[in-house]
Amino acid sequence: MVRNTKPKLEIVQHTRSFKTSKRITPNRLSQDFYSMKNITVIGSGTMGNGIAHLFAQQGFAVSLVDLSPEQLSMALTTISKNMDRQVTKGTLSESQKMAALQRIQTHTDLAMAVVQADLVVEAATENLEIKLELFRQLDQLAPATAVLASNTSSISITQIAAVTKRPAQVIGMHFMNPVPVMKLVEVIQGYATSAETTSQIMQLALQLDKVAVEVQDYPGFVANRILMPMINEAIYTLFEGVAGVSEIDTVMKLGMAHPMGPLQLADFIGLDVCLSILSVLQEGFGNPKYAPCPLLRTMVAAGFKGVKTGEGFYCYPAGTKDFTVSSRFSK
Ligand code: CAA
């Protein structure tokens, strides 16, 4: 059952058969859950800094890891600016913001960053080999009791778990961008993930004031299995000349009440990320219906990846606030 009202500390957990469900209430929470205090976030890009922001704001001690001090410093600036939005709106006080920022420590040394971790959330690059190698290292470096989670948008949790010696403690924790704003956490149970780990993470998501939905580990999980074909179809609609960029997005925004049209959303997610997820769906299901539109492939090959490169279906000369349809698509 998925609720869109403010979550209470109570969840309904579906079994693998999806036919029965069990209710978890506070008096059945494991002690381990309550002792989760130290969170290590790997990767300080858009998703990583959003995840660090969220945990720090909710009172957790956060170790944020990336390859260089420059990346980490940029991430802290972004987190501070995003918290300023909340301060301006009055949902966070200046002192709460300062306290949250002080809870974030930055590291370039993975071993140091995970030494006390109760939970590691990996939000590094979506490259299979890099991710597998990272999880091999995390398995060696993190305390034996730590849960290892990945924010992957499409890589198999089962495959990631299989390179560790603790597959029962490996899980998917898929946040949505922008992390501090979007209510959903898709919790992905790998083939070997234990029910206890899943329950711990479902409860933790509630503590973060998110709505957690438990799903099984199949390509694209639920979010991207449904979202990406819609985005791909929007790109095909443009490619085939059925309508222009703003017309397609307007239909979906005003006709279906989506906050962003699918082409703008593709730019926001990153066209390279969309291409990679569609390729995982196509390969994983062996079904040509997921084949990425040739226009998407061409744009990614040319380096037009959306907001992050300044141009995709739209141009973003001054960031996401001020954008116009790319001249390549204007009539
Ligand atoms: N941190 C904190 N607050 C933020 C924020 C951030 N990074 N980004 C936006 N906000 C806040 C703003 O301060 C604003 O707050 P109030 O409404 O309370 O004043 C609110 O979010 C809305 O932001 P804006 O006014 O700047 O802009 P908007 O109204 O156009 O909303 C949006 C922006 C929330 C991103 C909205 O357009 C939206 O919901 N878009 C769709 C997002 C989406 O679909 N995300 C999922 C992508 S898929 C994914 O992430 C997973 C994957 O695997 C690909």
Please state which CATH number belongs to domain 226-325. Answer: 1.10.1040.50
The CA distance from 56 to 256, in Å, is 35
Which CA distances in Å does 198 have to 20, 258, 314? 16, 30, 39
Residue 169, token pair as written in the block:
């403690």
CATH topology of domain 11-216: Rossmann fold (3.40.50)
Give the Cα separation of 157 and 121 in Å (integer): 13
Q: Exposed, middle or buried by CB within 10 Å (0-12, 13-18, 19+), for 111? A: exposed
Type of residue at 88: T
Specify the pLDDT at position 45: 95
Query: Which pLDDT band, with edges at 50, 70 and 90, does 11 fall under?
Result: very low
List the chain domain ranges: 11-216, 226-325
State both tokens at 71. 């990346």
For residue 35, name the pLDDT band (cuts at 50, 70, 90): confident
Question: Residues, the chain, total?
Answer: 331
Tokens of 297: 């492939």
> Which residues are part of the catalytic machinery?
153, 174, 186, 224
Mean pLDDT of 159-185: 98
For residue 15, the model assigns a pLDDT of 41
Q: Name 54's Cβ contacts closer than 8 Å, sequence gap at least 6.
A: 175, 179, 180, 208
Contacts (Cβ under 8 Å, ≥6 apart) of 199: 13, 24, 30, 33
pLDDT for the residue 309: 95
How do beta strands 104-107 and 61-65 pair?
A: parallel
For 154, other C-beta atoms within 10 Å of its C-beta total 22
- Is residue 178 reached through a cis peptide bond, with omega within 30 degrees of 0 on the bond before it? yes
How far, in Å, is the centroid of ligand 1 from the Cα of 257?
Answer: 15
Tell me what pLDDT residue 34 has. Answer: 55
Encode pLDDT of 179-208 as tens digits. 999 999 999 999 999 999 999 999 999 999
C-alpha 66/C-alpha 242 separation (Å) is: 43
Cα angle 112, 161, 138 (rounded to 5 degrees) comes to 10
Instruction: Give the predicted TM-score (pTM) of the model.
Output: 0.89
Do residues 79 and 101 make contact, with C-beta atoms less than 8 angstroms apart?
Answer: yes
Q: Kindly list the protein residues whose Cβ atom lies closer than 6 A to any atom of ligand 1.
A: 82, 85-86, 89, 153, 176-178, 180-182, 223-224, 259-260, 265, 269
pLDDT of residue 300: 98
Q: Give the pLDDT of residue 14.
A: 44
In the reported structure, the alpha carbon of residue 180 is separated from the centroid of ligand 1 by a whole-number distance in angstroms of 8
| Interhelix angle 69-89/94-102, nearest 10 degrees | 160
175: pLDDT strictly greater than 60: yes
Amino acid identity of residue 235, one-letter, is I
Q: What is the rounded average pLDDT for all residues in the chain?
A: 91
Pocket test for ligand 1, best of 46, 79, 181 (most atoms within 8 A of CB): 181
| The two structure tokens encoding residue 30 | 């494991």
What average pLDDT does this structure show over 171-180? 98
Q: Taking the CB of residue 115, how many other CB atoms lie within 10 A of it?
A: 15
278, with CB counted inside 10 A (0-12, 13-18, 19+), is: buried
**Minimum-distance ligand 1 atom for the alpha carbon of 268:** 47
Q: 116: CA distance to ligand 1 center in Å? A: 32
Q: Are the CB atoms for 78 and 122 separated by under 8 Å? A: no
Q: Please name the residue whose Cα sits nearest to atom 45 of ligand 1.
A: 177
